[in-house]
Amino acid sequence: KNYLGHKLTNNSTASSRPPPEDCYRMDPSKSTRENGQDIFTALALRTTNENKRLSLLNGLVKLIERWKRENAVGSCGALLVGSPQRKLVQQREVGLGYAIGEWLFCVSASLVHQFTQIRAGALRAVRHLLMAPGDVRAFNELQLGHLVCRSLDVLLKNEEERVQALKLIRKQLVIAPELVSSVMVRCLVSLGESGAEDRAVRVDREDRMLRACLATLCEFGVLNPKLLIVCGGVSVITRNVLECHSPRIAESLCGVLLHMLEWPK
């Protein structure tokens, strides 16, 4: 009986796996540029199915990490600042085959896909593509912030998608806090307000997403307090200080408020 059950489990697992032709693998005999061109072309095709598209998005992330290793670039995008920034950005365009605007435009189609796994994979790929302030400008020019807000607002068993959207916002905050779109900050403020209302009704179930949003808003309070004030984030932080049941979180929120009170501007 155990053997049959184990066999059925293996068969069901094997049947759920995508076919080999839908699993993208980088060709080690090709250069990073050639692999990037293959991924770009396949992502741009409308006929690419869901399994292949998700595999391509994951392959793009691996390709970016490979390029970073080959060019001795750290995993943090904040390293692409200062005098070597322009040179490294040019090397990235040569290495990956396309400019950052072209890559963002190509991946953006997957941000509105019907499957949440693909949208999460696209958000992850965009996060790895952003490495310099110029990349954030290209992101804003395409108005992709609205699609990030869409991923944050939708509540249909898409926790991974929301996590990736929040990671993308925090990545931009690390690279260029002064360039982050106010659209995404207002979305975080809205989530913070709605989360506080839900917590007031059900104290025993504190939303983890609310904590993550509050942490991100606190980072804005330190790195770009003017944007936080304009978007109404101070009232959200103040309200959560009064209604928070965790002393550690309340202490952090108070620290950000005190920091902004001492902020000369």
pLDDT per position as a tens digit, 63-105 = 999 999 888 776 554 444 555 677 888 889 999 999 999 999 9
The pLDDT tens digits for 143-158 are: 999 999 999 987 777 8
Q: What is the pLDDT of residues 178-217, one digit of tens each?
A: 999 999 999 999 988 876 555 544 443 346 888 899 999 9
**Mean pLDDT for the chain?**
84
Which has the minimum average pLDDT: 16-20, 25-29, 111-115?
16-20
Residue 1 has pLDDT above 90, yes or no: no
pLDDT score at 215? 92
> When comparing pLDDT for 143 and 248, which is higher?
143
Instruction: Check if the beta carbon of residue 210 is closer than 8 Å to that of residue 193.
Output: no
How far CA 181 is from CA of 168, 220, 228, in Å, comes to: 12, 12, 11
Please report the pLDDT score of residue 88 as a whole number: 81
